[in-house]
A and B are shown apart, each in its own frame.
Chain A
Amino acid sequence: MTVQAILAIAVFVIAYVFIATEKIPRVAAALGGAALMVIIGATGADEAFFGEETGIDWNVIFLLLGMMIIVGVLRQTGVFEFLAIWAAKRARAKPYRVMVMLVLITAVASAALDNVTTVLLVAPVTLLICERLGTNPVPYLLAEVMASNIGGAATLIGDPPNIIIASRSDLSFNDFLVNMAPIVVLLLAVFVVMCRFLFRKAFVYHADRAERVMALQEREAITDPALLWRSLGVLALVLVGFVAHSALHVEPSIVAMLGAGLLVAVSGLTSGKYLGDVEWETLVFFAGLFIMVGSLVNVGVIGQLGEAATDAVGDNYFAAASGLLFGSAILSGIVDNIPYVATMAPLVAGLVASSGGSTQGGALWWALALGADLGGNATAVGASANVVVTGIAARNGHPISFWTFTRYGVVVTGVTVLLSWPYLWLRYYL
C-alpha cells in the first residue's frame, strides 16, 4: 500500500469520526475531508468533478435537488395537512386508528417523495392533532419517522441510501419496486401491529377531546386548489417517468429535474418559495462525501478491499448477504446511513461484478439497502429523517432523548431486519 493510500485512509477515518460524532457540522467534516484528499493528491479536478466512480455522483445530487424542488412546491398546496387531518377524522379521532392512518400516509408519501421531506411536512400537523387530542405527540412522531424509514425503502427515491445504491448499481426504479416493495409492505403491516403494543400508553380515548379533532377544518388547509391539481398532475407524470425511465433510457435524475422545471413553470411561484425547501447543506455534504469515497477508489484502497471481500466471500453469497444485512443495520444505527452506504456501494459493486451478474450476487444490493434503510431506525442519528423529527419535537417542547428513541428503535429495527433475512433467503438463495 502506498503512502498516499495510507494518508487517504487516515483522512477518511478522521472525517468519518467527525461526521459520526457531530463534533463539527457534518458539511464541514465532509468538505474538509475532500479538501485534504485534494491536498494529499488523492484526487484532482478531473477525478472529483468528472469521474463517475471517483468523484461527485451528479445523478444523486440532481435527483435529490429535483425532488426537493417538487416537494417545495407541493408543500405550498397544504395537501399533507389536508390528508393528515382528513385521515384523523376518518379514524373518528380514536388514538390508535389515528396513529395507523398517519403511519400509512407517511410510509406511502415517503416512498413517492423522500422520507426526510415527508416527515418535515407530517410532523407539524401531527403536533396539532395530538394537541387537540390532549395526548403526548412523541409516540406518534416516533411511529411516523420509523414508518418513513420503512416506507422509503420501497422505492429508488424513497430513501437517500437507495438513491446512492441505484446510481452505483444501475438498478432501475422498477427493480427497486419489484425487489423491495413486497417486503416493505409486509414490514409495514407488522409495524402497524407493533405500534399497538409499543405505544399502548398513548391510546387513551376521550370523547370530548376527539370532538376537538373532529372540529378541525381540513379543507381550509388547501389555500390554492388550482396549484394543488397542477402539482399532483406533474407529480403523477414524474412517477410515470420514474417507472418508465429505463425503457426511455433517461436517468431518474433527469426525470426529477424535468418534473421540477415543469412544476416551477406551471406553479407561478417565486424562487424563494420553490427553492425554500432545498437542503443545500445536504447536497454539499453529499458532494464532499463522494469526493472522499472517490479518492479512496482513485488510490486503489476500495479496489484492494473489494478483492479481499471477494476472496472472503467466494461463492457463498447468502453468507455475504446476511453479513451485509445485519452489519449494515448495526452500522447504520451508529452512523448516518448516507455516508455508510456511500462508502459501501463501491465495495458491493465489486462483489456483484465478481459474481458475473448472477441473481445471488445482485441480491447483495438488496441486502445493503434493507440493512441500511431499516438500520436507520435504530437510533436518533441513524437516518436524516430521525434528526429532522427529533429537532421538530424539541422545538415544540416535546424533546425525544437519544435513549427514548433507541428503546423503540432497536426493537423495530430488530424485528424488521430479522423478517428481511428469510425474505432474502427465500427469494434469492433458496
Chain B
Amino acid sequence: MHASELAEQVPTVTRETTALEAARVIAEHRLGGLIVANDAGVPVAVVPGTQVLKLFVPRYVREDPSLAHVYDEAGADELCAALEDKTVAALFDSDEITTQSLPSVLPEDTLVEIAAVMVEAHSPLVVVRDRGGSYSGVITFARAMAAIAAAAARRQPTTDTADSDGPDA
C-alpha cells in the first residue's frame, strides 16, 4: 500500500489558534497531534500531541513532576481554563520544541518508508507531498498501524504455505 492511498484530509491549525481550540481539534478528530499551517493553508509543522500537552502543564511541574500531585480538582481545572489564553505560537516560541523539517513522505512511498519517517521524527502524523511540494493529505498513526496490521494479515497464509514447503516438512 502506498502513501497516496493512506492519505486523508485532517483539519489544520495556525499559530494563532488557541490552545483550547487545538485541544478540541485533537479530541474531535482523534489525532495524535496537530498539523500547523501557514496563512496560505500550507502545512509547515507537525506538533505531536504530547508536545501540545506542554501548553497545559506548567514548566515548573514538568521540571519537578511531584508537584503535579499537589493540585486539587479545582486547581487542575484552572490550568485547563488557562488554555484559552495561550496559542499554538507559544509552543514554537518556546525553546523546548526543536524546530525540525516537516515530516513528509512521497505519494509512492511504502509502509516501511512511512513508518521510518514517523519513528525518526517521533511524530504521529506525516504529510504526503509530491516532489513538487504539493500537499495531498496526512497519514495518521492510527491509519498507518491499521495498514500495517492489514498487510500482515494478508501475508499470513503465504507465510504458512512457505513453511509447509520447507525442508522440515
Contact = CB atoms under 8 A, between A and B. Distances in A.
A81 interface: yes
B69 A124 contact: no
Interface stretch (A29-37, A215-223, A416-424): A215-223
Interface string A142-182: 00000000000000000000000000000000000000000
Contact of A215 (B61, B75, B95): B75
Contacts of B71: 216-217
Interface in A278-329: none
Given A212-B75, A216-B75, A131 B70 contact: no
A81 B67 contact: yes
Interface in A185-234: 212, 215-218, 220-221, 223
Nearest to B72: A215
Given A216-B72, A220-B70, A392-B63, 7 more contacts: A81-B64, A81-B66, A121-B64, A128-B61, A131-B58, A217-B70, A223-B66
Given A212-B75, A215-B75, A124 B70 contact: no
Contacts of B60: 123-125, 127-128, 392, 396
Contacts of B74: 215
A218 B75 CA distance: 13
A73 interface: no
Interface in A106-134: 121, 123-125, 127-128, 131-132
Label chain A's interface by main secondary structure: helix
Interface string A257-280: 000000000000000000000000
Contact of A396 (B59, B66, B70, B72): B59
A392 B62 CA distance: 12
Contacts of B66: 78, 81, 221, 223
B72 A128 contact: no
Interface of B: 58-61, 63-64, 66-67, 69-72, 74-75, 78, 95
Contacts of A125: 60, 64, 67
21 contacts: A81-B67, A123-B60, A124-B63, A124-B64, A124-B67, A128-B61, A128-B67, A128-B70, A131-B58, A216-B70, A216-B72, A216-B75, A217-B72, A218-B70, A221-B66, A221-B70, A223-B69, A396-B58, A396-B59, A396-B60, A397-B59
Contacts of B64: 81, 121, 124-125
Nearest to B62: A124
B74 to A, nearest CB: 6
A81 B59 contact: no
Nearest to A217: B70
Contacts of B69: 78, 217, 220-221, 223
Q: Chain B at the A interface: mostly helix, strand, loop or mixed?
A: helix
Interface of A: 78, 81, 85, 121, 123-125, 127-128, 131-132, 212, 215-218, 220-221, 223, 392, 395-397
A218 B63 CA distance: 17
A124 B75 CA distance: 17
Contacts of A218: 70
Contacts of A223: 66, 69
A102 to B, nearest CB: 14
Contacts of B67: 81, 124-125, 128, 221
A20 B79 CA distance: 41
B68 to A, nearest CB: 9
Nearest 4 CB-CB pairings of A with B: A220-B69, A124-B64, A124-B60, A78-B66
A85 B61 CA distance: 14
A392 B71 CA distance: 21
A220 B65 CA distance: 12
A392 B60 CA distance: 8
A85 B69 CA distance: 12
A395 B61 CA distance: 12
Most buried by A among B63, B64, B75, B78: B64
B72 A395 contact: no
Contacts of A212: 75, 78
Nearest to A121: B64
A127 B67 CA distance: 11
A392 B58 CA distance: 13
